[in-house]
Amino acid sequence: MSSEPVWRIITDIAEARDTILRRRSLRDYAVPDHVITRSVDLFGERIMPEEAVRRIISSVRDGGDQALLSWNQKIDGAETTNLLVSPDEMLAALQAIAPELRCALELAATRIRQFHQKQPLGSWIDAAEGGLLGQLVRPLDSAGVYVPGGTAPLPSSLLMSVIPAQVAGVPEIIVCTPPGSGADDIHPTILAAASIAGVEKVYRVGGAQAIAAMAYGSETIPRVATIVGAGNLFVTLAKQQVYGDVGIDGILGPTETMVIADDSADPSLAAADLLAQAEHDELASAILLTPSHELAASVQSEIYRQLDQRARRDIILGAMDEGSGTVITADLAQAFELANEYAAEHLCLLVEDPWSWIGKARNAGGVFLGEHSYEVLGDYIAGPSHVMPTGGSARFASPLNLLNFVKITSLIGLDRRSAVELSEPAQLLAKAESLDAHAAAARLRSR
């Protein structure tokens, strides 16, 4: 990583597609050497993260609580004595945070709940001639929410994941979050957010071991039907490996934002929005698409100016070295073409009359319209969940919503006349697929 800021401005579209617009899978990301080296301490040999996660999951399936307590000590340095956080600890955390922070969390919770209560979701039955057809939409029995902790806790992620599950009607919702080192402490803002959201069960366990516990259960932690929430590489790999035994919200990789801007944009605001996303992670992507050479130069200057004021400067520099920069496009139409190919988690439209361009933005987790709808509001308080598809999965996936927490059951209740009328075409289709027993079962209903 360079010690000096280098915000690239790329004028060749082919070069842009081969560099900052090139999509990578999880396996394409370089694994930091300290991650591999750490495996020696944990397993006595150097192994890749996929294998480390596989072994952690296996140990939790076999060892339950004792395995979880052991991993808490080995990985997080926590001498955990009780996996479950008590109600008194939750209340104490809520009372300990600053009153203004509590008000902000409560406002965010209210707006998130109000937004998701508007999502249309319901069962239906069509009593048409010939019987009944329909769908039953029912909440899942349980959901597990993973919330990153440590020195950079994310209480907003708890609210953004728990509240949609509550609105969907899930009766049992649990939260897993890493313990602090040394003692059994979890950052108070996470426990405060859990208290505000009405979560009753928060467990001190993080990483792949938390995903394993929620997927398979232990003596203390119940098995759940689905697991949601973003985490580090080990959490993501664990969700991949347990999928099928439990539902997941998706494979959530490093955060990404794409800004489309024209000459009307304020370069200082565009730069601020790009830096805000780049500070998440050295693997984060912050990309500006614009047909304006003048704006591109002004944004670059603003990035250099604002960068020295940012506390997470080194992380931002890492993101700038990887998948961030500016691409000069022929016009705004080409910018939207590239944006749809890239399918960003966040797509911010800093253009004149952004509403007129909504139809062009087909692939994005969230579309942010104008300078007053900046992406940071989406991170915290606007209302929609900030758990959004990454890695290009916005081509086919959606932000976390009520559909992540329900299942749909089809209803088929035909009468005898319909059964007789449909028997012959059903037989023909069964015979076309060489399924004789299917055809026989249909034939028996033909008389």
* DSSP 8-state secondary structure symbol assigned to residue 182: B
CA 58 to CA 73: how far, in whole Å?
18
Q: Residue 147 phi/psi, 5° resolution?
A: -125, 115
Distance of CA 71 to the CA centre of its chain: 24
Give the DSSP H/E element, type plus range, for residue 339. helix 332-342
How far from 328 is each of 32, 117, 278, CA to CA, in Å? 32, 41, 20
User: Could you confirm whether 346 is annotated as catalytic?
Assistant: yes
Q: Are strands 247-248 and 226-228 parallel, antiparallel or unpaired?
A: parallel
- For residue 328, give the nearest of 264, 256, 260 by alpha carbon: 260
Question: In 3-state terms, what secondary structure has residue 370?
Answer: coil
Question: Which of 345, 371, 375, 386 is labelled catalytic?
Answer: 345
CA 414 to CA 127: how far, in whole Å?
10
HSE on the CB side for 207, CA within 13 Å?
25
CA 386 to CA 375: how far, in whole Å?
10
For residue 151, with 0-12 CB atoms within 10 Å meaning exposed, 13-18 middle and 19 or more buried, which class applies? exposed
306 - beta bridge partners? none
User: Could you confirm whether 372 is annotated as catalytic?
Assistant: no
Question: Which of 116, 187, 346, 386 is labelled catalytic?
Answer: 346
- Cite the active site residues: 345-346
